[in-house]
Structure 1
């Protein structure tokens, strides 16, 4: 489908996987400082919830957590409720443990629809209240299917992100006379030229270490390339297991990724050899772009803007910027994206009220006010686009609303959790450290649930 029909410009934050280390609980009731006034009437229907606490568990951690927490302040001002926020790098692994152990949070931000299905299967996820469903129907109808399991609606979309980005240093490109590649072959040609021009650095830097979620950045590589080599229709079949994971189309995409990630001449700039990709944290992986050509290129999503050091100018004329990961030719524009979904494990009035707020235009606009260093796009099509100030968000908006763009949701996020956030992550990690293509794809295929 066209992205212009799926996503409108708004604000939010997302990742397949985690963000920064951190994770100490934060009480939004005590620390928020936003002063935006909103209509409190929608929350009066839930009764007096002053002093009530809603616990939130998420993979959104420092430095992206603080502006997210601040965006809750209008709800807190309206209701007197408190939001206890906890971000964790081990979110995907620990959430099922907590749920099984009877220690589920009130609300979790699930970065994979596949994980939502897994959680729904536990019988512990509560269907979204009618107020949330009404907001979604009005504000983000094209995302409703991703929060629906077996015909029942559970989770509204929260953030949305663009993953088809390559980060680079405009100054380094200008100094070397490099041009932004317009096709995939141009990208490989540029990589060859950088490798030849600068033997003291590498064209690419990469890192897939992310705690219990290690491996997810490598799956994004495969998905982005699969969209480009196989096309959206075959991509959909792969996502739904209508073709096996070890299908020749997938093998072609993985081999194409290997031309970069398993090429000692191309990686791992500023870090070491190919195998260091597995031990380099995804947060730190792109930093050598700033190091006078430690590396020149880093493929990572829009939300990576928040990981550059404080004081880094992220703009077309700044210290770092990003370009669209090119397709096989200039006639197509596949775009890989993702997001997270609000799932509730409790049906208390204060929980329902907070779910309603997070699905509202008011929350999406508040994210504009509190947003930090970028990665602030949501699925809410009715939010005010004029509130977008960050250059990265503007670039994301241009890509998302391009009429020639064909959007697909992150495949691993849609696959069964045992695969998408399990064997796919692990298989790609093993691939980086030496496992061959066939063994990797066979391993993942053999793990696919039989029913």
Structure 2
């Protein structure tokens, strides 16, 4: 998948996010309710009556994310009369779908997390092209880059409903104040800031290494900033091997953090036992002596912060991922809706998910970012989340999609295998750059050869 060139306009938009956080921010800082004037369930798209029809939707969302998505599905039920069942699955979505299809009971709509998984679903004959109404919504409401991400062989199959800005670092404001540090703008400043925080008595960085996808995000941000967008695209398509010197350079840079146990909460062993949600909550609990001062991940971190007493914009602030020998990176991710059956209700749900109506419902709940440019950003519950959303839309096509999500699922999206496992091993032994490269290349070559 090719996106347009990385530009300084996107960098400037992301930098504004940090300024919003420093300003203290209005709105509901807990991310649990929409502001006055929220678009709510205003109707801008026409849907048919579908009384008596039933749908099943599968996604990986649980907890607060499942609650947010359920509000969207309930509104679809109210407006159409259809009944929608939701089934949360594990990360390896294609395995689940394949089993259901083999049993003659495919889900109607799947929310896939990888561009590679979308391509595989099309190649296996599982995915159905988006209908006319859904295509019209996508063409009207999405930039060309997001349209291309949902397109395979010149046909639109996917609707990107939920996006992610994966180039953010969230931090505990009290710890920064006590240590006398400010938001770093470069990788060198980031490491220096971490050292100062460590000297103040708090572990600087929380890493959710038990979930391998967080480590792929670390690598991708470093690699994009350091190697540049052209190399990033070529590595994503496996046009250059993982044994390339650019990969060695990025791993060596990442090792400057991973190789410093004093800079990581719990050290490497502790990080490998820390799941993503805990990596966030331990950063924002414990007053001015939490287990960590910073946690890197996307806008969806706000969902986990909302489970603590920290207030976004006051206690919890955010800055763009620091520049590494180049521009600050702009890495995105997203969940794409794909039709797996030909039911009229299936296509109606695809149309609804492509509309600003559906996006506004979850946006008001917090912990959600939409690539839908027709969504009124007043729907977001606070200025921090609103600023992140506006930065994403302002970047237009000037972003790079999560690299691991563009690759075959067996390499870039399966727990305990491929890139996830290789980077978990690297976290434990960051001096083994060459060995990590060889393992990554062997696993990638096998995955691309098998196409699975």
TM-score (norm 2): 0.83
User: Match for residue 197 of structure 2?
Assistant: 194
User: Match for residue 316 of structure 1?
Assistant: 313
CA distance in 1, matches of 2:386, 2:434: 40
Q: Is 2:171 aligned against 1:165?
A: no
CA distance in 1, matches of 2:280, 2:47: 42
Kept in 1: contact 2:165–2:330 (CA 8 A): yes
Shift of residue 309, structure 1, vs aligned partner: 5.0
Runs of 4+, deviation exceeding 4 Å: 2-5, 401-406
Shift of residue 221, structure 1, vs aligned partner: 0.4
Kept in 2: contact 1:35–1:74 (CA 8 A): no
Cα distance per residue 1:158-205 (max 9 Å; x no partner):
11111111111111211221111121110011112222332xx42111
CA distance in 1, matches of 2:226, 2:102: 40
User: Match for residue 22 of structure 2?
Assistant: none
Q: Secondary structure at the match of 2:329?
A: strand
Distance 1:206 1:57, change over 3 A: same
Cα distance per residue 1:132-174 (max 9 Å; x no partner):
1111111114211111122222111111111111111111211
Instruction: Show the 5 A alignment for 1:51-450.
Output: 51-92=52-93, 93-142=95-144, 143-198=146-201, 201-209=202-210, 214-267=211-264, 269=265, 272-290=266-284, 291=286, 292-308=289-305, 310=307, 312-318=309-315, 320-328=316-324, 332-368=327-363, 371-372=364-365, 374-401=366-393, 406-422=398-414, 423-434=418-429, 436-447=432-443, 448=445, 449-450=448-449
User: Match for residue 36 of structure 1?
Assistant: 41
Kept in 2: contact 1:194–1:203 (CA 8 A): yes
Q: Secondary structure at the match of 2:413?
A: helix
Q: Secondary structure at the match of 1:333?
A: coil
Q: Secondary structure at the match of 2:261?
A: coil
Cα distance per residue 1:74-121 (max 9 Å; x no partner):
322221111111223445353443344444211110111111112222
Kept in 2: contact 1:204–1:296 (CA 8 A): yes
Shift of residue 416, structure 1, vs aligned partner: 2.1
Shift of residue 401, structure 1, vs aligned partner: 5.0
Query: CA-atom RMSD, angstroms?
Result: 2.6
CA distance in 2, matches of 1:266, 1:163: 21
Unaligned runs of 5+ in 2: 15-38
Aligned residues, how many? 408
TM-score (norm 1): 0.83
Distance 1:245 1:279, change over 3 A: same
Kept in 2: contact 1:56–1:85 (CA 8 A): yes
Q: Secondary structure at the match of 2:283?
A: helix
Distance 1:398 1:327, change over 3 A: farther
Distance 1:402 1:126, change over 3 A: closer
Unaligned runs of 5+ in 1: 10-33
Q: Secondary structure at the match of 2:117?
A: helix
Kept in 1: contact 2:176–2:197 (CA 8 A): no
Kept in 2: contact 1:35–1:73 (CA 8 A): no
CA distance in 2, matches of 1:217, 1:444: 16
Cα distance per residue 1:385-409 (max 9 Å; x no partner):
2222323312313542566994211
CA distance in 1, matches of 2:203, 2:276: 17
CA distance in 2, matches of 1:336, 1:186: 20
CA distance in 2, matches of 1:86, 1:50: 21
Distance 1:163 1:119, change over 3 A: same
Kept in 1: contact 2:212–2:421 (CA 8 A): yes
Q: Secondary structure at the match of 1:207?
A: coil
Distance 1:196 1:171, change over 3 A: closer
Q: Secondary structure at the match of 1:316?
A: coil
Distance 1:163 1:114, change over 3 A: same
CA distance in 2, matches of 1:35, 1:77: 14
Kept in 1: contact 2:116–2:406 (CA 8 A): yes
Q: Secondary structure at the match of 2:309?
A: coil
Kept in 2: contact 1:314–1:392 (CA 8 A): no
Shift of residue 35, structure 1, vs aligned partner: 7.7
Kept in 2: contact 1:305–1:392 (CA 8 A): no
Cα distance per residue 1:267-309 (max 9 Å; x no partner):
1x2xx33123222111111222222132111111110110125
